[in-house]
């Protein structure tokens, strides 16, 4: 598996809070961000429900 694919998968499975562990000018940073964004698009309703319960 390429490191770019690993970064994408890492972003996809990271969670609702964005914390990209890669250097901002790297391909891995971009791939992590793509994976994280796709995860948000695919399951935003699940995360919205989780976010609404924070602090309660």
Within a domain: residue 54? no
Residues 17, 26: Cα–Cα separation, whole Å:
20
CA distances from 10 to 13, 29, 49, 51, 52 (A): 5, 10, 22, 21, 25
Residues 20, 2: Cα–Cα separation, whole Å:
18
Give me the domain span that covers residue 19: 3-39
20-30 burial: b if 16+ Cβ within 10 Å, else e: bebeeeeebbb
Within a domain: residue 24? yes
Question: Per-residue pLDDT tens for 1-55?
Answer: 467 788 778 777 766 667 888 999 999 999 888 888 888 888 766 655 555 555 5
pLDDT of residue 15: 62
Within a domain: residue 44? no
Q: Structurally, how many domains does the chain consist of?
A: 1
pLDDT of residue 23: 94
Question: Per-residue pLDDT tens for 32-47?
Answer: 888 888 888 887 666 5
């Amino acid at each position: 598996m390429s490191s770019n694919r690993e970064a994408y998968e890492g972003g996809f499975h990271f969670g609702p809070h964005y914390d990209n562990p890669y250097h901002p000018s790297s391909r891995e940073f971009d791939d992590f961000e793509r994976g994280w964004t796709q995860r948000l698009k695919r399951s935003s309703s699940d995360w919205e429900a989780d976010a609404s319960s924070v602090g309660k």
